[in-house]
Structure formats: C-alpha cells, structure tokens
C-alpha cells in the first residue's frame, strides 16, 4: 500500500505531512560546480550508502537514474511529489532512491547532493520526521556530510543552511481560499517564519485548493522547534478553515450541497474534462465528503489519490504512451467515472 | 393517458401538432364589447352545447369557470397549453371546457367567444384537425356562429377572420437555434405566410429550444391548404435541423456527447435548479436521447412532459401551495432526480 492509499489522507484539512532534509557530501563540489564524472561517482556512492545497507528499510528502496526515466515517468513522479520540478530540468546527472510505498524519496544531485523527503498520510509530521531522521542516519553512517560547527549543514542555497530542514503540511482549504482571509493569514504566518505555497512548492500555483504550509528558515532553531512552530501555525489555519466551513454551512447549506452534488454529477458523467476543472470539482467532492454535505458512499480510491491520478503524467503512464490534450481529457473522464 | 404521455412526443423534432379555431356566436357582442351579464349567458350557452350533448366525445369534457380557478391552477393550465396567457389576464368572465386527456380545450370568452384548441402528440396535424373539426361541428349544431359569406368566420382580430384557423407544430430545434441559420429560416418561412414563435405563442420567448411554427393568415385559403403549406414548411425546418445535427455530430461527436452527459449528471444530482436552467438541460437531454448520443435508458416520463412538470405552476400544484422561488428550485431538483 502506498502512503497515499491510506484513508487518513481524506479525513480532514491536512492531506499529508512532509519532511525534507538537504544534505551535501563533504568530498564533492556542490551540484552547481560538480562535473559529470564527479556527479556519477557521487551518485553511485550515495546510492550505495542506502542500497548496500542490510537493514529492512534499505531493502525497500529502488534506484532510478534520471536519464533512464522517460518524460512521462518523470512527470508522474513529480505529480506524486517524489521528485521536484528542478529534478526534471536540465541535463544534469541525477539519481533517485524511492521507497516502495513512495513515503521516502532521496534525490541525488538535485540542488544539493542529497535531498531526503518523507511523506506521511494525514496529520503525522512526527512520523515523517522520524522516517527522515532514520534515513539521514543511514547515509551519515557511511558518508561524511558537509557540516560546519557554527552554521550546521551546508547547502547550495543559504536559506537551507542550518538544519537543512523543510517541514510542511499539505492542506486542503477551499473555504479559506474563497474567503478574503487567506492573504491576511499568509502574512501573519510569515511573522513566525512560515510560508504558504502552491501544490508543488515555491513559485507554483495552488490547484484544487491545496496549499503547502512550511518553514522558510532552517537556521537558528532546532528541528523539533521548527516542527513545533509549524504545528502551531497549522492549527490556526485549520481552525480558520473550519470556522468558515461551519458558518457557511449554517448560512448556505443548500447552496453548498447543490454545488457538491453538481460537482459529483459532472464528474460521474462527463466524457471529457480538463485537469484544472477536474481538480476543482474533486476539491469540491473532498469538501463534500468530509463535511457530510455529500451523502454518498466514499469511492474506494481516495479523492487526493484521484487528484494525482488525473494529472497528465499519470494519465499517460496508464495509457503507456504520449497523448494529445484531447485524448488525455477523454481518458481522464473515463478514469474518474470508473473511480466514482 | 394524457396526450403528452404518449411516447410519440419524444421521438423526433416535432413534439406536438396543434389546431386552433376562433369562433364567435352571432347573437352576442364580441368579447371586447360584451358586458358581464351577457358573458355569463354566452358562456353557459356555449358550455351547454358541449356538455348537454350525449356523444362519447362530449362526455369527456369538464367545465371550469375562470374565477373558480386559483392562480396556481391557471398557471399550470397555461404551462400545459390548455389556456392562453390572455385567458389569465384581466377580470373578464371566462370559461374553459377541457377534455380529460387535455387534447381538446375550448376557451370561452377569451379574445373570441369560442376558441377550440386540439393537440396531438408528435407529427399528427391531421388527427388534430379532425378533432377540432368534430368539436366545431358539435357546437355549430346547437349555436349559430358569426359568419360572413365573403369573409368567412368573423373574429375580434381581423388576422383571424376567414377560417379562424391557426395550425401549428411545436418543434425542438436546438441545433438550428445555435446555428446562424434560424433568422434566415424565419424570414423564408414568412414568404409562405408562416411564422416561428416562442413556446406560448405570439410575443413569448423560446425556452428549451422549443418553437412553434404556424400560419399567420387565415383568409384566402382553405383549412386543408393552410395545413398543407404548414406541413411543407415544417419539413424544410426539420430537414435543416437534421442536416446540422448530422454534420455537427460528425465533426464534434465527443464534444456533444460530453455536453449531454454533463446535462444528465447535473439534472440527476443537483439539489436546486432554476426553471430556465432545467429547461435548457432537459432540452440537451431530449437531443441526447433522440440522437443516441446519450446511451442511457429513457426515463419513464417523457422529457417534454418533464419540461412542463418543472414549471412554476406545476411545481406549486404538486406541492398544493404557493412557494417561494427558492422552494420551487429545490422541489424542481427533487422532482427531476426522481423522474430520472
């Protein structure tokens, strides 16, 4: 079972909890300076630190060379948050270690030599942190990280130097998004060193009312302190979302109910649909199921999983070939009808 | 079974065939000049000519006094085309004779003393004409019509003088409506003395892509000649509609199929819906079933009947009380979900 098949991801505002650790190996130039030969050796060494280990954890990883991945595979991995948009760009030698349930991915030679990322379903940031910490130790047993006694872990971008940690929650906040309170909340979160971003991180658009709340600075605080602030800030966001939900449902229940049932009706019957429209309607469906406005049996597939499965990479992965936009729109509608 | 329960009404472009005869009784002033006392006597006499007759046909009529009908009942009768918008207006004494299957209605003291109207499901104008002619004879056996040897039947409005006949087809032409050809067709039909109007006749808006094609002049031609021209003109309209259907389906089948399935999805799941939106979506459904684009079992209730049942009068008749717009929108959605 992959992490996103857990029913926890469709139970509340929080979809998933994520930890990312940025690390670099002491004996290699940073990725911006590394040449292709050095990169190959570095990737092999980092890969070996996991794969050659004999623990239960390390046996669950598979290794992928970036050049051996097709564009569709890369897109699909990006949509699942296993790799970053940057991993796809350029012709750099890159590697990916992926745990079989996709809860841990380790990008090699992305912006930093090693980027450990762990995801847990629902509100489970401590579990994600624990996984990331264990993975980090596994590598550190074998390889020496670039570390400075005063600064902490050294990274390509100074904003990551220190703990190298980015802790984040992926949240679904359709009511807050519609309200005029989101901008104010983003601002007040900033004061705590936290930020709200789109679905694929920095500079990306929010889709399906899904946002990432994460820390901006990684220096000057311990990992546990950063995670604590993130938790506190996110509790506030959830509370605001829930307050608006309750008051809107109290005032316009029929209106909202009609909206979610129409979203269901369109998804369950349409013959073609764009990715953006589908994400927006699935967002309404998730809202409908969680609030109880949609009084129908939940589909077997999580709504969030459906949100990933309808994206261009996934649709083309399933078809096993490149598809035109029109073909994707048709197969997307077929998939959704089947899933509902 | 009422005429609109016949499956014929949802089988092609033509929904129904209608005949209207305008007649006045010789011994009374025309409705515009008649006083209340005279109107009462006139209505009684006209009513008697039908009700007191001992034929099988006359036994199937019920009589309604306009004052004894509630606003909701009047609205509902209007929506079923049993009475005209004019019948509802003003405080005139008016009467209505209605056959139990609603295929014949006789308005008394509307614009003329006697307005006979017959409707047959589908393409059956000859059957409607036969019914109207029989009813006309039934009355004429007892009462003397205002008739001039040169002019023919005399009527309040000179455009009806002559045969007093309006023959019409109610047609569903969604593709022609969307194309730019409708205006041209309306113009060319005019040359044959025919006209295209909205759903409730003169000056009313087309709803759900439904139009009435009918003769404009009633003088100078015999009833059979008028009906013949109407038939010829309507065949042209149907042919144009079908040509556009075929070419559009050939070019954009998926697009159209998606539209009709979305219409179905919304109708089958929405929790509230306005009358205009429902008519527009039901029109797409009718188009979808007839063209085979919608590959679902037809509902038990005819789509056209549903189009009448969702109108404000019918919704309130069913509820047995006056309802606000919001209440109607809710009950309309409930009714449609049930019917589909």
> What does residue B139 show for φ and ψ, rounded to 5 degrees?
-75, -45
In three-state secondary structure terms, A153 is strand
A104-108 and B114-121 strand pairing: unpaired
Residue B259 burial by Cβ neighbours in a 10 Å radius (0-12, 13-18, 19+)? buried
Number of neighbours of residue A304 by Cβ within 10 angstroms: 21
pLDDT at A16: 96
- Report whether pLDDT(B54) > 80: no
CATH topology (fold) of A3-240:
Creatine Kinase; Chain A, domain 2 (3.30.590)
Distance CA A49, CA A108 (A): 12
| pLDDT per position as a tens digit, A192-216 | 999 998 766 555 667 899 999 999 8
> A275 falls in which pLDDT band (50, 70, 90)?
very high
pLDDT at B152: 92
CA-closest candidate to residue A214, choices A174, A159, A176: A159
Residue A174 burial by Cβ neighbours in a 10 Å radius (0-12, 13-18, 19+)? buried
CA-closest candidate to residue B82, choices B94, B90, B91: B94
3-class SS letters over A59-80: HHEEEEEHHHCCHHHHHHHHHC
8 A C-beta contact, residue B63 and residue B47: yes
Distance CA B337, CA A260 (A): 15
- Report whether pLDDT(B267) > 70: yes
Distance CA A125, CA A129 (A): 6
Does B258 touch chain A if contact means CB atoms closer than 8 Å? yes
> Degrees (nearest 5) of the Cα angle A126, A307, A326?
155
Does A262 touch chain B if contact means CB atoms closer than 8 Å? yes
CB within 8 Å: A271 and B264: no
- Report whether pLDDT(A49) > 80: yes
pLDDT at B202: 57
Number of residues that this document lists for chain B = 340
Q: Which of A254, A266, A270 sits opposite B271 (nearest CB)?
A: A254
- Report whether pLDDT(B90) > 90: no
> A180 falls in which pLDDT band (50, 70, 90)?
confident
- Report whether pLDDT(B304) > 90: yes
The more confidently predicted of residues B59 and A147 is A147
Query: For testing the chain A interface, which of B259, B261, B267, B268 should be mutated: the one with the most A CBs within 10 Å?
Result: B261
**Which residues are CB-contacts of B278 (< 8 A; sequence separation ≥ 6)?**
B267, B310, B332, B336
Query: For testing the chain B interface, which of A249, A252, A258 should be mutated: the one with the most B CBs within 10 Å?
Result: A258
* Cα separation of the two ends of chain A: 20
| Closest Cα in chain A, distance from residue B122 (Å) | 30
Does A330 touch chain B if contact means CB atoms closer than 8 Å? yes
Radius of gyration of chain A (CA): 21
Mean pLDDT in chain A?
92
In angstroms, the Cα distances linking B197 to A165, B88, B204, B229, B310 are 71, 20, 7, 17, 21
Domain ranges of chain B: 3-240, 251-339
Helix (H) or strand (E) holding B305: helix B303-309
Task: List strand residue ranges (DSSP E) for chain B, in order.
Answer: 14-23, 61-65, 95-99, 104-108, 114-121, 147-148, 152-153, 165-172, 194-197, 210-215
- Report whether pLDDT(B158) > 70: yes
Query: For testing the chain A interface, which of B249, B254, B256, B262 should be mutated: the one with the most A CBs within 10 Å?
Result: B262
Q: DSSP letter at A206? A: P
> What does residue B16 show for φ and ψ, rounded to 5 degrees?
-155, 160
pLDDT at B61: 93
pLDDT at A201: 58
Does B325 touch chain A if contact means CB atoms closer than 8 Å? no
- Report whether pLDDT(A117) > 70: yes
| pLDDT per position as a tens digit, B228-244 | 999 999 999 999 999 99
Q: Which of A258, A264, A266 sits opposite B272 (nearest CB)?
A: A258
pLDDT at A285: 97
CB within 8 Å: B254 and A271: yes
Mean of pLDDT values over B118-130: 96
> A1 falls in which pLDDT band (50, 70, 90)?
confident
């Amino acid at each position: 079972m992959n992490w996103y098949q857990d029913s926890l991801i469709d139970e509340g505002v929080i979809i998933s909890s994520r930890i990312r650790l940025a690390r670099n190996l002491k004996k290699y130039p940073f990725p911006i300076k590394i040449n292709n030969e050095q990169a190959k050796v570095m990737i092999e060494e980092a890969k070996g630190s996991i794969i050659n280990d004999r623990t239960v954890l390390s046996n669950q990883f598979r290794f992928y060379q970036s050049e051996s991945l097709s564009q569709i595979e890369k897109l699909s991995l990006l949509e699942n948050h296993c790799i970053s948009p940057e991993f796809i760009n350029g012709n750099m030698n890159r590697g990916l270690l992926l745990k079989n349930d996709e809860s841990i991915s380790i990008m090699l030679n992305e912006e930093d030599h090693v980027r450990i990322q762990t995801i847990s379903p629902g509100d489970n940031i401590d579990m994600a942190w624990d996984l990331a910490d264990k993975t980090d130790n596994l590598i550190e047993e074998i390889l020496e990280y670039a570390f400075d006694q005063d600064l902490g872990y050294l990274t390509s971008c100074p904003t990551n130097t220190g703990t190298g940690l980015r802790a984040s929650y992926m949240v679904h906040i359709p009511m807050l998004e519609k309200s005029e309170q989101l901008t104010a909340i983003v601002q007040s979160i900033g004061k705590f060193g936290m930020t709200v971003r789109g679905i694929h991180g920095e500079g990306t658009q929010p889709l399906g009312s899904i946002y990432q709340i994460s820390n901006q600075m990684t220096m000057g605080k311990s990992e546990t302190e950063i995670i604590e602030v993130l938790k506190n800030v996110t509790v506030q966001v959830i509370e605001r979302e829930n307050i608006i939900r309750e008051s809107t449902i109290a005032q316009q229940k029929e209106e909202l109910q009609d909206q979610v049932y129409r979203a269901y009706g369109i998804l369950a019957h349409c013959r073609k649909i764009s990715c953006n429209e589908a994400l927006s309607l699935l967002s309404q469906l998730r809202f409908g199921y969680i609030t109880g406005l949609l009084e129908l049996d939940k589909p077997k597939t999580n709504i969030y999983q459906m949100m990933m499965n309808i994206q261009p990479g996934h649709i083309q992965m399933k078809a096993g070939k490149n598809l035109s936009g029109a073909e994707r729109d048709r197969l997307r509608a077929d998939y959704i009808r089947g899933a509902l």
